[in-house]
Amino acid sequence: MVQPSVVRRFWSLILAGAVLLLILPASGASAASDEAAVTRALAEQGNESAQLLLGLAYLRGGWGLARDPTRASRWLEKAALAGSSYAQDRLADLYEAGLGVPRSEALARDWREKAAHRGNLHAQLKLGEMYLSGKGAPAQAQLARQWLQRAQSGGSDEAARLLAKLDETGASDPDRAKDPLVLLAQRAYPELEWLIARIKRLPYGLDELAHERPVRLDVLAYDGDVEAQYELGRQFEQGRGVARDWRMAAWWYRRAAMLDHPKAIERLVALYDGGGYGLEADKSQARRWQVHLAQLGMSASRTSAGQANGARLDAEAGADLLALLFSAATVAAYYYFLSLKVRADPTFTIHGVNQLARRLWVLSVMQNPSKDVMAVQTLRNFIMGASLMASTATLLIIGTLTLSGQAESISRTWQVLNLHGSHAPEIWVMKVLLLLVTFIIAFFAFAMSVRLANHVLFMLNVPEQAAHDELAPENVANRLNRAGSLFALGMRAYFMAIPLAFWLFGPTFLVFAAVGLVISLYRLDRSRMGASRRQLAVPDE
């Protein structure tokens, strides 16, 4: 028998889980949102680390932000232009895969080379592989060997494997055998040959020992990098490192503008509007690009709003699913607890007592033919009740289908109480579908209950001389109990529909309705016959 302390612990766990379910989603979402806001503010101020982190967050969908490879590529490129080798390498990955940016092996190689010059081990390995396979540039075994040797010196096992494969296939430096220094060393100083080989295999080129190569904007811009095109246009507009030339600035701005770079379009409008430094003013071009900027701004604002709403809806959908899982687990735990009690005492529940009563009733009626009229009336009452419940289930099915088009408006009416609820169409479909399935189960259970009760009605009126083994009192009682069990199943389906109906107003309502249902069922399911319950027994034949 289950001890009272076990019951108390059971309810304590359920209530604690409900409280945690309500608290954790809100606190987690708030912390992630704050972190994203702080990082964005730093990134917009030009902080390289913040730009990298924000780009990675958009790439992976972290901090409650919707996954957006396009925004990720923009922020990663800002960090890459600021000198982050990791951002350069990740940006190369995006260009190689065509994720968030147009696919370009040439740009992938450009960014990979910049990261490799800054000592990024992964970039050195990938650059060596690109020169081996001829991706983004003609295949060059010498350059491939150089970068693979660098990666190997940094500890890359994959680079060592590729170098060994190169040695096996004989893909080495074709000019090495013709090198006069090598020939001289072979004849005079064998040690010098070894030293030359060591110098040629240094992990860094002799021209790079003192400093790293700067980012070449012109190479990136010619290869189609939109951010580099914009930056190069800024250089020509402001005369930074080059002669001020607004015609060239407009040319680069126009190339970036054709790829919908908003800042490039703004500068292009300003240059065409005023003219100067080699560029003639062109009001028609200024108006054209101004209209394009307005259209782009409207689209961007809708996209930003959609992405922000998407991130919020993802968190809200998570709260809905958590509430559903918690509620299902609570109900399942209650029925498991009830099964343990019934195993110890079959008449612990009202259903168990009713099964015993139906069995005794059938035995009494079939042994006393004078009770046939009463038996028929009793079964007709049962059939009428089950039929009424089946008809009600049909009406509820129709009502649920009608509700499917109005559930969202009902939820918004109660949105003040809906703490974490989702308005996503997928979640609404799932809510209505589960409610619909519950009512269909109820209809099927009640209809089958009517069917079996009708069978019993015929069985009770079969003359005794025409009796068959299947019409024995025990078998008739079993069939009537099956009808009663199906009736109980239909009622359980109605009970389960209560929290599902409240779920339409949000996950908070679902949790409280499920917990309240379990508490109510615990009080309603128990038989209240006390000690007399144990005295009931089937009389011996």
The helix (run of H) or strand (run of E) holding residue 77 is helix 69-81
Measured CA to CA in angstroms, residue 88 lies from 7, 91, 108, 326 at distances of 60, 5, 9, 44
Contacts of 348 (CB under 8 A, 6+ apart): 338, 341, 342, 526, 527
Letter for the amino acid at 472? Answer: A
Assigned domain for 52 exists: no
Give the span between the Cα atoms of 172 and 166, in whole angstroms.
7
Task: Quote the pLDDT of residue 194.
Answer: 47
Give the span between the Cα atoms of 169 and 177, in whole angstroms.
17
Assigned domain for 253 exists: no
Give the span between the Cα atoms of 8 and 14, in whole angstroms.
10
Task: Judge if 382 and 524 occupy the same domain.
Answer: yes
In sequence order, what DSSP letters do the residues of 337-399 get, joined into one string? Answer: HHHHHHHH-TTSBHHHHHHHHHHHHHHHHHH-GGGHHHHHHHHHHHHHHHHHHHHHHHHHHHH
- Using DSSP, state whether 468 is helix, strand or coil: coil
263 burial class (0-12, 13-18, 19+ CB within 10 angstroms)? middle
Assigned domain for 342 exists: yes
pTM for this prediction: 0.44
| Domain limits for position 433 | 317-535
Q: Count up the domains in the chain and report the number.
A: 2
- Residue 287 has a CB neighbour count (10 Å cut-off) of 13
In 3D, which of 415, 441, 411, 437 has the Cα closest to residue 425? 411
152, 184, 201 — which closes off a domain?
201
Per-residue model confidence as pLDDT tens digits over 139-152 = 888 888 888 888 88
Q: Which two tokens stand for residue 109?
A: 């190689």
- CB distance 250 to 272 below 8 Å: yes
Give the span between the Cα atoms of 317 and 323, in whole angstroms.
10
Assigned domain for 10 exists: no
Task: Judge if 373 and 518 occupy the same domain.
Answer: yes
Query: Angle 93-91-121 (CA atoms, 0-180°, nearest 5)?
Result: 70
What is the average pLDDT value for the chain, to the nearest integer?
76
Task: Quote the pLDDT of residue 27.
Answer: 46
Assigned domain for 272 exists: no
- CB distance 330 to 515 below 8 Å: yes
162, 184, 201 — which closes off a domain?
201
Long-range contacts of 240-246 (CB under 8 A, 24+ apart): 244/277, 245/277, 245/278, 246/271, 246/275, 246/276, 246/277, 246/278, 246/279
Letter for the amino acid at 446? Answer: F
Q: Which residues of the chain fall below pLDDT 70?
A: 1-34, 63, 168-216, 297-316, 403-426, 463-467, 528-541
Query: Angle 372-373-379 (CA atoms, 0-180°, nearest 5)?
Result: 85
138 burial class (0-12, 13-18, 19+ CB within 10 angstroms)? exposed
Assigned domain for 345 exists: yes
- Counted residue by residue, the chain has a size of 541
Place of tokens 């990136």: 220
Query: Angle 144-146-151 (CA atoms, 0-180°, nearest 5)?
Result: 95
Assigned domain for 90 exists: no
Query: Angle 384-388-392 (CA atoms, 0-180°, nearest 5)?
Result: 170
Task: Judge if 326 and 454 occupy the same domain.
Answer: yes
Task: Quote the pLDDT of residue 443.
Answer: 93
Task: Quote the pLDDT of residue 409.
Answer: 54
Task: Judge if 190 and 323 occupy the same domain.
Answer: no
Give the span between the Cα atoms of 526 and 352, in whole angstroms.
9
| Cα torsion through 511, 514, 520, 522, rounded to 10 | -110
Measured CA to CA in angstroms, residue 513 lies from 25, 320, 323, 491 at distances of 19, 14, 11, 17
Assigned domain for 529 exists: yes
Dihedral (CA of 258, 262, 264, 270) sign:
positive
- Using DSSP, state whether 276 is helix, strand or coil: strand
